[in-house]
Structure 1
């Protein structure tokens, strides 16, 4: 079953002068068709300005489409009466955790969302316990978020969304401000949420290594979906990705260059283990 379905989705940003005359229109989403199944881990890739973050904000009803259709868990985003429900079903994690963390103690911050939903106090603390455990932050529950690393702060922000028990979490470049260790922590936490809790994850990113384990990938450019498929299909097309100024995971690029130099190895190698296995087979063959 699809939890997200976008059909011919268009979003235009209209620029006006001081007298409110239209002086320019930017089409940030240009007839986008995207389907996301419940329980899937889907990555949306693209450069800055590709439309991927604009799409993310539509799922959470932070933006409304100019035209087209967007259904989130059976509800039409264009109907204003659906928006509160949609925000309960689709939680959002942003690039900078400091913009999302508001309390001075970790556990209070995680409990803030459920409290706003009117959840009874006993259940709030149960949700806080579960959410902190899910992202591996239980031992920091009494800490000040200001004393945490970037990766830890982002995990607290994710816990705050998880505590609201959404069916879907949209992460808009959640690792952009983190070092490699912080990025790894966050990706592990959201992969765990997806696999163990069956929460649908939509990861907006431009780090190719982060999407290797995704169920499906959409690539956007200038407001359009230009490629879609499972990671192996996408990363098998190294030259096409290069043409669109997009990277591929380093292992995939190394395997591609080895193949071009004459080694008999398959396209779309995604992990070090796969490359080692392919090299062993090539040496035996």
Structure 2
């Protein structure tokens, strides 16, 4: 059974004038199909306004469909009786960790979610310790979140979600406010967690390098899924991606430019190491 499944998903919101009167409807998600298997790492790409963040909020039932259906762990997100179960199954990490961290001490913040779930106190502290260790923040357990860097705060936010033991973690542009080193740390943390705990990861991003190790990539434009496939399949279609306002990983772009200059390189090269190997192979011919 799919961890997350959307069928002909539609989401519309009201457009209002300056006085607050409804003047029409705008469709943010338009007939999206999505299938995510347990344990998969799935990336969703798109330019600003493409609908990717709206789709992320559907998975956690922050928003519910206007049409079509969204299932999370076999539960219909529109069913109010399943809301609690849906949010236990799919934890959400937002772009700005300051919007998610509410505790004045790191360990108290991480323990807030499990406490709300009714987890016994001894189990809460066990989960807090394990979650902070998992994201490399155990030595900061007694610190104030306000004293942490952006990347450290984001790791605390991830730990807070992990402590609730969801089957799926949805990350809505979690590295958008971080520097390149901070972005790498957060993505590395998420990847390690996925391997250790076999959780499903859905990453919403516009940084191409973050998705090259995904199992599947979906590209959105104007509320629709316009491309889907493996990272290699997606990044083999450089010109098509450009039409949707997307970049490609640096190694992919360099390989494409070298191909245009006559080098016999395959499409869809993802890593710089891979590019070097192909160039060295050409020199040996």
Which of the five TM-score ranges fits, normalised by the shorter chain? Answer: over 0.9
Q: Aligned equivalents of 2:103 and 2:22: distance in 1?
A: 41
How far off its partner does 1:20 sit?
A: 6.9
TM-score by length of 2: 0.98
**What corresponds to 1:153 in structure 2?**
153
Query: What pairs with 1:76-91 in structure 2 (closer than 5 Å)?
Result: 76-91=76-91
Report Cα offsets for 1:196-243 as digits up to 9, x if no partner: 211100000000010011110000000000000000000011111112
d(CA) in 2 for partners of 1:19 and 1:143?
A: 45
Q: Is 1:140 the equivalent of 2:135?
A: no
Aligned partners of 1:262, 1:283: CA distance in 2, in Å? 14
* Structure 1 position 7 matched with structure 2 position 4: no
2-side partners of 1:17 and 1:255: how far apart?
A: 49
Q: Which residue of 2 aligns with 1:227?
A: 227
1:269 to partner: Cα distance: 0.6
The 1-side partners of 2:257 and 2:211 are apart by 21
1:259 aligns with 2:252: no
Q: Which aligned pairs between 1:112-261 and structure 2 lie closer than 5 A?
A: 112-261=112-261
Closer/same/farther in 2, CA of residues 30 and 148 from structure 1, 3 Å limit:
same
Counterparts of 2:140 and 2:149 in 1: how far apart (Å)?
Answer: 11
CA offsets 1:102-122 (integer angstroms, 9 cap, x no match): 111111110010011111110
Write the deviation string for residues 34-62 of structure 1: whole angstroms up to 9, x where unpaired. 10001000000001110000000000000
Give the paired residue count. Answer: 285
- The 1-side partners of 2:125 and 2:134 are apart by 14
Task: Provide the residue aligned with 2:35 in structure 1.
Answer: 35
Residue 47 of structure 2 contacts residue 244 of structure 2 at CA under 8 Å; is this kept in 1? Answer: no
Distance in 1 between residues matched to 2:245 and 2:59, nearest whole Å: 27
Deviation at 1:30?
0.3
Q: 5+ unaligned residues in a row in structure 2: which ranges? A: none
Q: Deviations over 1:3-27 (max 9, x none)?
A: 1110000000112347875312111
CA contact (8 A) 2:151 2:183 kept: yes
Structure-2 residue corresponding to 1:98: 98
In structure 1, how many angstroms separate the alpha carbons of the residues matched to 2:24 and 2:97?
33
For residues 46 and 17 of structure 2, the distance between their equivalents in structure 1, rounded to whole angstroms, comes to 30
Provide the C-alpha distance between the structure 2 equivalents of 1:64 and 1:267, rounded to a whole number of angstroms: 39
RMSD of the TM alignment (CA)?
Answer: 1.1
Q: Which runs of 5+ in 1 are unaligned?
A: none
Cα pair 2:45 2:205 within 8 Å, conserved: yes
